[in-house]
Amino acid sequence: MLICYTSMWQSCHLTVGALETENHLNALYGSIFGETHQYCRLAVLLPLICAFVLGLTFGIWICQLDSRAASNGNILPTIYVVTATYKRPEQRAELTRLCNTLARVPAIHWLVVEDADSPSSLVADTIGNCGVLSYTHLYVATPEDEKLKSTEPYWWRPKGVRQRNLAFEWLRNDPSRTGVMYIADDDNTYDVRLFDEIRATRRVSVWPVAFAGGLLYEGIRCAHGRVLGWIVAFKPHRQFPLDMAGFAINLQLLHERPAAKLAYKVERGFQESLLLTSLGVRQSDLEARANDCSRILVWHTRTAPPKLNNVALLAERGLTLPPVIGHV
């Protein structure tokens, strides 16, 4: 132990430039502790002094940074991420994957709106334990006559209309609320850098989305931060031929246009144009992001439903799966 303490003293002695010589150190601490075993006592005390000085310096530096940020108004605008979700076997997996992305984004509030008559414990448990610190769990059921029938293809009816409209109402409930709104489906894939692009939105920012419109990506012709035109195949006559994942809206527009919302009785592919036109947006208002629309930061992916066709086979053999904690 004596050798260890002596080594510690020698290392710290080399790094302390404020004390000039070993004799000065011995004289200083000898007066406090006495001459007996002064090297060992010094070896114990010097690391404490070093830690105190470093901690004090770091604390002052942090306070200075906070003061500069407050004086310069460098407070990050909040991004309100709106996610409509509905019950299905892969629901928790989808929400967990999205949450793992959002948990890496600062100054974010996750608005999860469940398609249900009451909030489920599955959704509440998932979003409450996945790492996103600021979130709101809402719920509202889709009208029966607007629900997708088992015989209809997945794209036949618009999904998430009532849920997203409820999120719009929640955002408008506080007129002083500021920031940016982004609609993020739970099955899409997002590069965390996308949210840096979103945060600076003044009115409406746009970027290309991969795997949309029957193309590898739907193109946007952009130059110097402005949108010049569109390169799309699916219904190119749309006023705003964008995917819902391809734009973000400053909350000021939502406050200014309280009637703007989505609707069920809309031609397929026109929900985005309906929302933006009802907000009074023109093409000249659009702000090109993602390196003038040349970088892909979001993919319109869809998770394949899991194959559960062997559940009956287990039952025929008199077997059941053992219980798991929480939800699958």
Angle at which helices 38-72 and 22-33 pack, to 10 degrees? 100
Question: Any catalytic annotation for residue 272?
Answer: yes
pLDDT in tens, 274-289: 999 999 999 999 999 9
Predicted local confidence at residue 46, as pLDDT: 63
Which 8-state DSSP code applies to residue 247?
Answer: E
Residue-level pLDDT at 24: 52
How confident is the model at residue 304, as a pLDDT? 87
Instruction: Please give the pLDDT value at position 6.
Output: 41
Q: What is the secondary structure of 116-179 as a DSSP string?
A: SSS--HHHHHHHHSSS-SSEEEEE-PPPGGGSPPTTS-TTSS--SHHHHHHHHHHHHTSTT--S
Is 185 a known ligand-binding residue?
no
The residue annotated as part of the active site, out of 94, 218, 272, 287, is 272
Burial (Cβ within 10 Å: 0-12, 13-18, ≥19) of residue 141: middle
Q: CB burial class (10 A; 0-12, 13-18, 19+) of residue 3?
A: exposed
pLDDT at residue 21, rounded to an integer: 44
Closest by alpha carbon to 236, among 249, 218, 262?
218
For the stretch 231-271, pLDDT in tens is 999 999 999 999 999 999 999 999 999 999 999 999 999 99
Domain 79-299 has CATH 3.90.550.10: yes
Q: In the chain, which residues have pLDDT < 70?
A: 1-74
Q: Where are the domains of the chain?
A: 2-72, 79-299
DSSP code for 281? -
Q: Which pair of tokens denotes residue 45? A: 């005390």
Residue from 199, 198, 222 nearest 283 by CA: 222
Q: What pLDDT, on a 0 to 100 scale, did the predictor assign at position 326?
A: 79
User: What does pTM read for this prediction?
Assistant: 0.77
pLDDT for res 231:
96
Angstrom distance (rounded) from CA 158 to CA 161:
7
CA 39 to chain centre: 54
